[in-house]
Amino acid sequence: MAERRRIATRKSTPKTKRTTGPAPKKAAAKPSPKRWSQRVTRESDALDLKRGVFTLTDPKKIAASLKLSAEHSSRRKTGAYRSALSMLTFYINRAGKTLPKAQRDRLQRAKVELKHQFGRD
């Protein structure tokens, strides 16, 4: 019966909790950049694009510039067409809802034109 009392007292003893002082700090993590897409654009090994290529008004010029950049890039890891198309898609997705409808339509037409210029009809 003495054993039962010991077991009972062990089970009923509350665990001690730390009730005073600040909570323990976690390992210091590097603060993430405000916008991950900025970091991707800056550090990506995809392509070296001509400045302002996505603000051009003619879809054919946008596609031609992307094609030229993709073909001359030594940093890309995939084919020229795939790299150019992924950069165009990335820009459209990154802009999100803030991209005006006219510019979004222009960039969507540039996708089709890019396909034509690479002979992937």
Question: Can you tell me the mean pLDDT for 25-34?
Answer: 62
Helix/strand/coil (H, E, C) string of the chain? Answer: CHHHHHHHHHHHCCCCCCCCCCCCCCCCCCCCCCCHHHHHHHHCCCCCCCCCHHHCCCHHHHHHHHHHHHHHCCCCCCCHHHHHHHHHHHHHHHHHHHCCHHHHHHHHHHHHHHHHHCCCC
Rounded Cα gap, residues 47 and 67, in angstroms: 10
Q: Does the pLDDT value for residue 121 go beyond 70?
A: yes
At 37-51, the pLDDT tens digits run 667 666 665 667 788
Closest-CA residue to 54 (of 116, 114, 118): 114
pLDDT at 28: 62
At 73-110, the pLDDT tens digits run 877 788 889 989 988 998 898 888 888 999 999 999 99
Q: Which two tokens stand for residue 48?
A: 């070296």
